[in-house]
Structure formats: structure tokens, C-alpha cells
Amino acid sequence: MTDEIQVLIALILWLSFFGWIGVQRGYVAELWLLAINVLSWVLLQERGDIVVRLTNFAGKFLALVRAGGLTAETEEAVRIVAEAPNVITEDNRQDFLFLVWALIVLITFILTSNPRLVKPKPNKSLGFLIGAANGLVFAALLLPVLNNFLQSINFQQDGGLSRLFTVIGSFWTLFAETLGGFWAWMLTWPAGAWLLLITALLLLIAWPLRGSAAGKK
């Protein structure tokens, strides 16, 4: 089998999967996802500086609050803001914008899956087509990122099964390292941030449960 046929089959499988999701979710939801997906990507690539500046501004404001700058003299507050490092630098700018885009897509997917917000209209073929179009956009945006990672994997043996295990192992290592890094970063949080996180998570769980009197076991 030539490489072109393999690529074609992989693409058909990929698009069929997204088309099937489109049929399940309905074409209106898929259309919203497609529009926001493309629009947010283009805007973040072209005008991403606005989001970066806003985030850095928020970071500096937090640094000001933590240093007690809100009650300090103007010169002192200016010094604190000037000395506070930027949260988003040139090194992590692209990663940050990708994360923002991924979050926008995820939130859009969740919101448009809610039948109360987007009423599903029965048109399977249109749903399949727009779903496949979404798959094409995701392929164009996500596959280069995955490809960068796959190219960095060093395959020791040629066997099919060992290659599969190497890829899965590499993904697992990446996941574990990222989680470890995130945990190490969380350990540097001040007590107030932990309190906010615990309270917010508990409220998130408790909020849908409110309103019904607690009873017996």
C-alpha cells in the first residue's frame, strides 16, 4: 500500500468520525462550533497581542495586590508594577494562545451540546458534512502540533507493537511530566489561592444540590 492511500484512508476515518459527531450533535451546533473555531483561531493569531497584554496586566495587578500596593504610595505602587515580571513572555506566548483557543473550543462544544441553548435540527446529511468540515479544520490545526511531538520520539525497534507501545509510552510520559510540573507549580501557591480553589470547587459541586432539604439516610 502506498503512503498516499494510507493517508487517504486515515483522513476518511478521521472525517467520518467527526461527521458522525456532527450527526449526533446536529448541524446548527456544528455550524456554531465551526464558526467560533475558525474565528477564534484567526483572531488569536492576528490580534493575540491583546489577550497577552490583558493577561500580563492582570498578572501585574495581582502582584500589586499581593505586595500590598493598593494602599501604598503612588511611586511605590508604580515600582511594584514595573518590577513584576510578565506572566506571558515571548517563550510561552504561542503555548498560551493555543491554550486559550483550546479552551474557547471546549467551552463552545459544551455549550452547543446543550439542547436548551442550541435546538438540534434533524438533518443528518448536513450534520455529517459540517461535522466533517470541523474535522478538517481540527486536522489542519491539531495534526501539525501532534506531528512535532511524534517526530521527537526515538523509535528503538521496528516492530509494529513496540512502535505502538513507544508512542503510548511517550504520550504517557508527556502527560505525567506536565501533571508533575503543574503540581510543582501548585505547591508554590499562597494559602489564599488554596482557600479560593477549595471553596470554588466545593461551591461548584454544592450549587446544583442546593434547594432540596437534607433528609435522613
Partner 1 sequence: MGPIEILFCTVVVIFAFIGSVRGAHRELGNSIILMYVVAILRFADERGWIERSVQVIRIVDVETERINDVAFLLVVIVFTAVVIVSYQGLTFDFSTKALVGVSGFLAGLGVGALNGYLIAGTYWYYADRYGYPFNLLTGPLTPVGQILLGYLPQTIFPNSMYWAIPATILMILRILR
- Site residues (vs partner 1, CB under 8 A): 187, 191, 194-195, 198-199, 201-203, 205-217
Shortest Å distance, C-beta 24 to partner 1: 17
Residue 184 CB, shortest distance to partner 1, in Å, is: 10
Q: Minimum Å distance from CB 209 to partner 1?
A: 4
* Residue 213 beta carbon to partner 1: minimum distance, rounded to whole angstroms: 7
Give the residue with the Cβ less far from partner 1, 122 or 215.
215
Sign of CA dihedral 97, 103, 107, 108: positive
Taking the least distance from each CB to partner 1, the nearer of 85 and 208 is 208
Q: Which is nearer to partner 1, 85 or 192 (CB)?
A: 192
CA 65 to centroid of chain Cα atoms = 28
CB nearer to partner 1: pick between 160 and 215: 215
Q: Which is nearer to partner 1, 35 or 197 (CB)?
A: 197
